Each structure stands twice: as C-alpha cells, then as structure tokens.
Structure 1
Amino acid sequence: MLPLPTIVHLDADAFFVSCELSLKPELRGTKCAVGGRERGIISSASYEARACGVYTPMPTKLALKVCPDLILLPHTAGIYSKKSREMFDLCETLTPVVQRNSVDEGYLDIGPCGFKTLPEIERRVRALQQRIWDDLQIPTSFGIAANKLVSAIASKARKPRGFTVVPPGEEAAFLAPLKISVIPGVGKKSEERLAASGIRLVSDVLTRSERELKNLFGSGWEEMLRTARGEDDRPVHTDHEDAKSYSVQETFGEDISDLAEIERIAKRMIDELMPAIRGDGKRVKTMTVKVRYPGMENSTAGRSLAEATDLEAPFYPLVQPLLKAAWTQRRPLRLVSVRFSGVEEKGSQLEMFAQTDEKKRRLAAVMDKLNAKGQAGIVRHGHQIQKED
C-alpha cells in the first residue's frame, strides 16, 4: 500500500482584506485593499487589485496612482485575531495536531486521523476548506503533501481558493519546474543573483555539481540540495491550551524601511493580540519585537513592565524604543513581529490605580465585543472602526 500525504498547509487568501469583506460582502469582486491613506502602505490587497499592479507593502499614494478606483479599507481592530482563532478552531475539528504559524497560515498533521485513502483525505480537507468559507467567509488555499516544505509551496500554487495535492514520491517532480523563488529564504535579491548564475528554476539546482553548489550557497549547499529535492523532516508542533506566549508577524511583499510605518504596523499587532489575551483570561508582562532583514538575519529586543497587564496602552510607548534597539542595521526589513510573554493568570490587582485600570479593562472588553460584531464608531490607537449598516 502506497504511503499517504498527511501534512496539510493552510494559507488564507488576502487575509486582512478577506476579514474586512466578511463585514462588507457587497465589496467582493472589487479592487480593494486594506491600508492607511495618510503616510500609509497597503497591507493586503484583493486579487482584483493585484491584477492592476497593487501589491504589499506598496505606498498607498502609489497604489491609488496605479489603480485610481481602488477602494481603501481601514484596519478594523480585533477582527483579524478573532477570525484567525475561529479558523484554526475549525481546523482542530479535523485533527488535534494543528500548528498556528501566524494569523493567516499554519499546518495540520492528519496522520492520527486514520484516513485510509487519498480520496478520503481530499474529501475531508475540502470539507474543511468549505466550512471555513461557510462559517467565516474567509477564502483559503490548501496544500497536501508528505512534509511541511512541499505542502506550504503547494498551498500557494493555485491561489486564490487553491487546492493542491502532491503524492509521496512526487515532491522533486512537483518542485522542479517552479521558480527558485518558491524556496523559503530566496528573496528578490537572491533570485537575481542566482539567475545571473543560470539558476532560475528549482530543477537547475539539481543539475549543478557539488563544487558549484558550494560556490553558490556556501555551507548551506547541502540544505539547499535537500530542499530542491523536496526533503523535509520537520514535525508539526501542536499548540498548547495554556499559552506561554502570544505572537503575530507580518512578512512584507517588498522590503520596507519607513520607521513610522513599521511602528504603526507593530502597534496594530498589539491591537490584534490583546483581545486574544483578554479572551484567555491572561495578562502579559514582556513584549519582544523581532525584525528580519532580506538575508533572513533576525534581531530582537524586549522589555518588561513592572506589572503584567491585559491592556494595550502600557505597551504602546515601548514600540519605538524596541524597534530602534532591534533594528540596529538601518537596512530595509523583510518581516516584523510582536511577541508577548511573561503570561500570568488574571487575578486580583494590587497596583495603586487598580480601579482606573479596571474601568479601562471593562471598556476594552466592550470594544472587543463590538469589534467582533463588526460595529464601529470607536477608535483604539488611531484605528477607526467603520460603522456597518
């Protein structure tokens, strides 16, 4: 009996835009994007807008030039983390082995489910894809393969609403005709450098000698060769109910170097994470900011509050100094992430201003509920939530 592919990668399509369109379904099929009009960038664009040349993180002013009829949608605080939690909760109705990589993508290991045939696997995963749409109005793409590497590449092969299965043993054949840029870590500059050496497709790696690969990839040549063959033995790491940290990250379609814009994105991440922390009945004490350069080098900086909290405001002033501390090389960034740790159970608060903070906490809880319903008229850290009729 042939082995079955048991690793599934879920990748939500234009996630931020899809979340907003779940509140504004009348805008489906239009050229729209999530982003700020003033000193802003596009953080997510519909596929109709992408067809006109709008990409992430294009400056909003430029996006409006290339697509004059672009509809700009402001960020709705709270909805992204809510939709993400609900999406992965649905995944856990299929298998308990779910790894939540970020708000919009993750892995499922369906090996423990006991499926006997490939058609059965396809049917069950397609049913999950349909349920995410029916329940949440979030379109998704799925890749199914024998490992994480190939399933992740497969999920992006036919977006949006893609569904790609790579049977075991066909990993190398699936990857061979694809552009070398599908390999994780091969960015635009690396792609250009490799193209100058004649490597444009994944299959080109397999035709090179060991000496040539060493010259091109240095000490990482063997890993690149294994990757080109579609080999990967990383397991799917499950989430634990008692979270030790909360994090979210954003990878930019194009590298970005605007400090003010990066700061705005990081503060939006705080707005996304705190409702989840409050919803779990937790408080956090430490915030860590991570930046990643185009060459995949990471740098981090963190700071702790005197007391754990589940409110956004105490962490806002830490964003700029942490960014400056982490972003030591003033080069454009590929990724930024915010992580909260030092998780504590919510208990009696002894600080001097407990009563004042409790009022803020009750207000925050009300805001979370309104955000979850798509209601508006409220601003948290300058993010206007638009009222829905």
Structure 2
Amino acid sequence: MPLPTIVHLDADAFFVSCELALKPELRGTKCAVGGRERGIISSASYEARACGVYTPMPTQRALKVCPDLILLPHTSGLYGKVSRQMFDLCTTLTPLVQRNSVDEGYLDLGPCGFQAAAEIETRIRALQQRLWDELQLPVSFGIAANKLIAQIASKLRKPRGFVVVPPGQEEEFLAPLPIGKLPGIGAKTEAALTERHGLKLVRDITARNESQLEAIFGAGWREMRATARGEDDRPVETERDDAKSYSQQETFAADIAEFAEIERVAKRMVDELLPKIREDGKRVRTMTVKIRYPDFTQETHGRSLESATDLEAPFYPLVAPLLQAAWKLRRPLRLVSVRFSNVEEAAA
C-alpha cells in the first residue's frame, strides 16, 4: 500500500512566534509584528486575528479594530536565523527539503525507508515536538501523497495542526471542504462561484460534467477538476536561490484571475524575502515581478529604488503598479514571482 510521504510544514504566525520565543510573557496576548516603523502588520497572533487583525493590514486600521493590540518591532536577523534552524532540524529527518519561504516548505520522506504510515506519523510528531522544545516554534503539519493535499491539510487545524490524509482518499478528503480551501480561489472568486454557479463545497465541482466545468472555468477547467480531485504530481524541489538575487515564486494549483489575490501573494513574498535579506546583511535596490499565463507565456516588469534598502516599506507601493505593467492580458495567471536584485552589502 502506498505511503503518505509528502509533508507540508507551516510555522504558525511565524514572525510573532519568533518574537514570543524571546518574550514568552506575551503568549496569549493580542500582539503583532510590524507596525509603526513600516506602517503595516507583518504577522499577528491568533488572539489578534480573532479581533480582526490580518496580514498585511495597515497599522492604523489594526489599532482601530483591536485598540489593545501590542505592537512588536521587527528584531533584525531573528527570522532568517530561526528559519534556518527550523529547516536544519527538518534535514535531520530527510535530505529532501524544499524551502518555499521563510516559514513554510515541503519534506519528501521517500528516501527514508519508512515501512508504515504509523511510523511516518510518529516521526513527524516527534519533529513537531522538537521544533517546539528547541525553538519554541509552533508548526502545523500536513501529511499526504502529494504537495497539494499536504498543503491544504497543514492549514486546516492551525495552530499546531496535524492532519494525515491516507493515499487514495484525496478526493474524499477535499469533498466536504469549502471551495475557498483550494489554492487559487480567493474570497471574491469563492463568493462569485457560489452566487453564480452554486459551488459551495469542493464536491460541487467534481459533481459537474466537463461541459459545465468548461462553461464556469473556461480553458482552466481541467486543472480545476484535477485540483478538486486532489491530483498533483509536482515533485519536492531542493534547489537554492542564486546568491546574487533573492526570489520566490508560487505556481498555483488552479489559475487565479483576481488582481487582489495576486497582489496579496506578491506582498507576502516581499514580507518573506526581506527578513532573509536583512539576515544576510544585504540591501537590495531592484524588485522584479514575473507573471505566467496558463499557456506558459510570461511577462516581467521591474523597478529600482534610488538607493538600496533592507526594509519592506519602500517596496510595498511598487507591487500593484509592477503587477499591472506585467499583467497586460486580462487572463488568469498560473504563476507569480518576486525577485530582488542589485544586491549590496548593508552599511556597517
């Protein structure tokens, strides 16, 4: 019987968790990282999220919805350091580790020789506990036969979630979930699909025939059907970024047509790349956005600041215009990436 050998790990409220490891007395409070010096919330505790604080949210709005919010400044170098420690602990279990971003990635347990699903679950639970014991870092895990299902599973029961989906049960696992749980379906798309087509749960997608799906999703209907069935053959990739630039990309399981959703993903990449740049003692001057259409044609657009920086704030206003300049065709996107280049050493 096949084993669930693909693991997705997702650190819970990563920036906040890193800060709370240094300030444990603040655990259980409404707190957030970011705030006044950059004007935007980078990470919020789950207590703050319950009050309506989200990422990225302007600080002034966050303070209105949560007046007793505790703002924590970014600690220089901390997040990159903890991220490396987290992934280093993962490599003690398997050499196949994909570092998607500063706070999430994939493990492939295929080379580990495990003989039973129970053995895999025991080892991942031990890793989850070790991450807490050594780093005070709460991490959620999803274990499945492919990356799509593992990622969805890891986000279902946060914080400190642990969800295992046995191979062969992918479609059954997805069927009762809201369609918004599928990658690429943002809040606006979910609302439109529900209102116009009666699609509320993932099973509503798989119940439609091919012509109905094509009428709803257009040329991307096959990909959407495959996603709703839990099909995904992407491998875990372990390549590292070019040291002369910092980049991150995301290939969507289903094409995304909403500008706001793409902008949110790109801004999240800014939030995740800049801590690594600061940790490396670098500054960057140029940001380039790349988009890719379903037919694999792609466009890029970049812009340079007058001087290099290691802060997020100067790049936030560039995200929307760069996306607009690159995304000229009114077609959904398969991939978006953000790349920082013109790297300089930070001032001593």
Which range, TM-score by smaller chain?
Answer: 0.7 to 0.9
Offset of residue 191 of structure 1: 0.5
Residue pair 2:176, 2:202 contacting (<8 A) in 1 also: yes
1:339 counterpart residue number = 339
Offset of residue 61 of structure 1: 2.1
1:45 counterpart residue number = 44
Residues 1:273 and 2:276 are matched in the alignment: yes
Say which SS state the counterpart of residue 7 (structure 2) adopts: strand
1:156 counterpart residue number = 155
1:67 counterpart residue number = 66
1:195 counterpart residue number = 194
- Structure 1 residues 328 and 221, CA gap change in structure 2 (3 angstroms): closer
- Structure 1 residues 5 and 89, CA gap change in structure 2 (3 angstroms): same
Q: CA separation in 1, counterparts of 2:283 and 2:41?
A: 30
- Structure 1 residues 42 and 191, CA gap change in structure 2 (3 angstroms): same
Structure 2 unaligned regions, length at least 5: 251-258, 328-332
TM-score w.r.t. structure 2 length? Answer: 0.80
Offset of residue 270 of structure 1: 6.6
Q: CA separation in 2, counterparts of 1:141 and 1:263?
A: 22
Deviations 1:141-182 (A, max 9, x none): 000000000000000011000000000011111100001011
Offset of residue 328 of structure 1: 3.2
Deviations 1:100-143 (A, max 9, x none): 11111100000100001111101111111111111111110000
Residue pair 1:77, 1:271 contacting (<8 A) in 2 also: no
Residues 1:100 and 2:96 are matched in the alignment: no
The aligned amino acid for 1:218 is G
Deviations 1:206-236 (A, max 9, x none): 1112111001100110111111110100100
Structure 1 unaligned regions, length at least 5: 306-310, 344-356, 364-389
Q: CA separation in 2, counterparts of 1:243 and 1:322?
A: 23
Residue pair 1:78, 1:271 contacting (<8 A) in 2 also: no
Q: CA separation in 2, counterparts of 1:98 and 1:264?
A: 21
**Which residues of 2 match residues 133-282 of structure 1 at below 5 A?**
133-196=132-195, 197-240=197-240, 245-247=245-247, 255=260, 266=270, 271-277=274-280
Q: 1:328 aligns with which of 317, 324, 327?
A: 324
- Structure 1 residues 146 and 249, CA gap change in structure 2 (3 angstroms): closer
Residue pair 1:301, 1:325 contacting (<8 A) in 2 also: no
Say which SS state the counterpart of residue 328 (structure 1) adopts: helix
Offset of residue 288 of structure 1: 3.6
Q: CA separation in 2, counterparts of 1:241 and 1:190?
A: 32
- Structure 1 residues 24 and 160, CA gap change in structure 2 (3 angstroms): same
Say which SS state the counterpart of residue 142 (structure 1) adopts: strand
Q: CA separation in 1, counterparts of 2:187 and 2:84?
A: 32
Residue pair 2:289, 2:326 contacting (<8 A) in 1 also: no
Residue pair 2:78, 2:279 contacting (<8 A) in 1 also: no
1:383 counterpart residue number = none
**Which residues of 2 match residues 117-128 of structure 1 at below 5 A?**
117-128=116-127
Residues 1:58 and 2:57 are matched in the alignment: yes
Residue pair 1:290, 1:298 contacting (<8 A) in 2 also: no
- Structure 1 residues 229 and 271, CA gap change in structure 2 (3 angstroms): closer
% identical equivalent positions: 62
Q: CA separation in 1, counterparts of 2:226 and 2:262?
A: 33
Structure of larger gyration radius: 1
Q: CA separation in 2, counterparts of 1:264 and 1:125?
A: 27
Deviations 1:257-279 (A, max 9, x none): 99xxx99995x76752335545x
- Structure 1 residues 205 and 55, CA gap change in structure 2 (3 angstroms): same
2:27 counterpart residue number = 28
Deviations 1:258-316 (A, max 9, x none): 9xxx99995x76752335545xxxx89984432779x9x986434799xxxxx964999
Deviations 1:292-345 (A, max 9, x none): 79x9x986434799xxxxx964999995896586243599xx9996534689xx
How many residues matched? 327
- Structure 1 residues 167 and 26, CA gap change in structure 2 (3 angstroms): same
Residues 1:89 and 2:118 are matched in the alignment: no
Residue pair 2:283, 2:309 contacting (<8 A) in 1 also: no
Offset of residue 201 of structure 1: 0.6
Higher mean Cα deviation, 164-173 or 44-53?
A: 44-53
Higher mean Cα deviation, 185-194 or 75-84?
A: 75-84
The aligned amino acid for 2:96 is V
Q: CA separation in 2, counterparts of 1:31 and 1:317?
A: 23
Offset of residue 41 of structure 1: 2.5
Q: CA separation in 2, counterparts of 1:65 and 1:285?
A: 33
Q: CA separation in 2, counterparts of 1:21 and 1:288?
A: 31
Offset of residue 70 of structure 1: 1.2
Q: CA separation in 2, counterparts of 1:127 and 1:178?
A: 28
Offset of residue 188 of structure 1: 1.3
- Structure 1 residues 201 and 231, CA gap change in structure 2 (3 angstroms): same
Residue pair 2:138, 2:160 contacting (<8 A) in 1 also: yes
Residue pair 2:283, 2:308 contacting (<8 A) in 1 also: no
The aligned amino acid for 2:213 is L
The aligned amino acid for 2:13 is A
Q: CA separation in 2, counterparts of 1:65 and 1:317?
A: 21
Q: CA separation in 2, counterparts of 1:54 and 1:340?
A: 28
Q: CA separation in 2, counterparts of 1:39 and 1:238?
A: 32
Say which SS state the counterpart of residue 3 (structure 1) adopts: coil
